[in-house]
Amino acid sequence: MRPTIKKENVKPLFDSEFIKVYDLQYGEGKHYYNASRRDADSLAAIKSDEEFKTMLPDAVTCVVVVCIEGKIPRLLLSKEYRYPTGQFLLSPPAGLLDPTDARTANPVLSAAKREIWEETGLIIKPCDSLSVINPLLFSSPGMTDESNALVCAVIHLPGPGMSSLDYLSHDNASGSECFDGFQLVSVKAAKDILKAGIDKQGVSYSVYTWAALMYFASGLWRK
């Protein structure tokens, strides 16, 4: 039988704009600590089974495949500065769902379109495809209820004489986002990075980058 955490047994320990810490008292004298982006009323831990199954993720991560005429498809990644690691890490486009996204017909795809535009300069066109791979994945449920949806975007660009990089820009990035260029990764290069466990510069990467590399290298994006 799983422990039940009641709303009145959730005690806030730290509260700021972007992160909060809660004590989840799941039994007499029993405490579990959770770092979350969520307000106390929307924590995953206190949701009913139905609420849990239908809740929106905190963020979206995008597997962006660029198809340019006359060239092999490539996975679009960036080198993005990640403050907790102090490093530029190989990363797919990603970002938080905004309150305005929640009011749309498909909040996850709404957020994905915006994040792709902000972090790459690419706009999803009618000839492109945008679909949900997974509606909600937990980042590290041993310490946080933070979650990401995974989305696949297949973007077609006109081609002869053009480089994919000619279409890309970080100019729309906002807030604390900091980038150090793009990387367009072939299937072979994706497999090499997966096998090595590090990028070409010898730097580790996040589990969501691993997921993007795996989805692209497996060919699942074609289906």
Residue 205 in domain: yes
Residue 2 lies in a domain: no
Is 124 in contact with 113 (CB distance < 8 Å)?
Answer: yes
- Residue 207 domain-assigned? yes
My answer on whether 132 and 178 are in the same domain is: yes
Structural domains of the chain, count: 2
In this predicted structure, what is the pLDDT of residue 170?
86
Decide which of 19, 34, 52 is a domain's last residue. Answer: 52
Let me know if residue 63 belongs to a domain.
yes
- Distance, in Å, from the CA atom of 176 to the CA atom of 80, rounded to the nearest integer, reads 11
Q: How many residues does the chain have?
A: 223
Residue 26, both tokens: 């799941």
Does 141 map to a domain? yes
Residues 197 and 92 in one domain: yes
Straight-line distance from the first to the last Cα atom of the chain, in angstroms, rounded to the nearest whole number = 39
Which CA distances in Å does 42 have to 3, 138, 146?
18, 15, 12
pLDDT in tens, the chain (223 residues): 778 899 999 999 999 998 999 999 998 899 999 999 999 999 999 999 999 999 999 999 999 999 988 889 999 999 999 999 999 999 999 999 999 999 999 999 999 999 999 999 999 999 999 999 999 999 999 999 999 999 999 999 886 544 556 778 888 887 788 999 999 999 999 999 999 999 999 999 999 999 999 999 999 999 7
pLDDT for residue 218: 97
The verdict on residue 163 lying in a domain is: yes
Specify whether 65 is located in the same domain as 114. yes
pLDDT at position 179: 92
- CATH number, domain containing residue 111: 3.90.79.10
Are 35 and 68 contained in the same domain? Answer: no
Both 40 and 100 in one domain: the answer is no
66 shares a domain with 47: no
**DSSP letter string over 31-99?**
EEEEEESS-GGG-GGG--HHHHHHPPPSEEEEEEEEEETTS--EEEEEEEEETTTTEEEEE--EEEPPH
Residue 1 lies in a domain: no
Do 119 and 214 reside in the same domain of the chain?
Answer: yes
Q: Which residue has the tokens 């929106």?
A: 56
Domain containing residue 29: 7-52
Same domain, 122 and 42: no
- Tell whether 90 and 183 lie within a shared domain: yes
Same domain, 64 and 124: yes
Specify whether 79 is located in the same domain as 150. Answer: yes
C-alpha distances in Å from residue 120, one per residue of 4, 29, 206: 43, 49, 19
Considering the domain architecture, whether residues 63 and 154 belong to the same structural domain is answered as yes
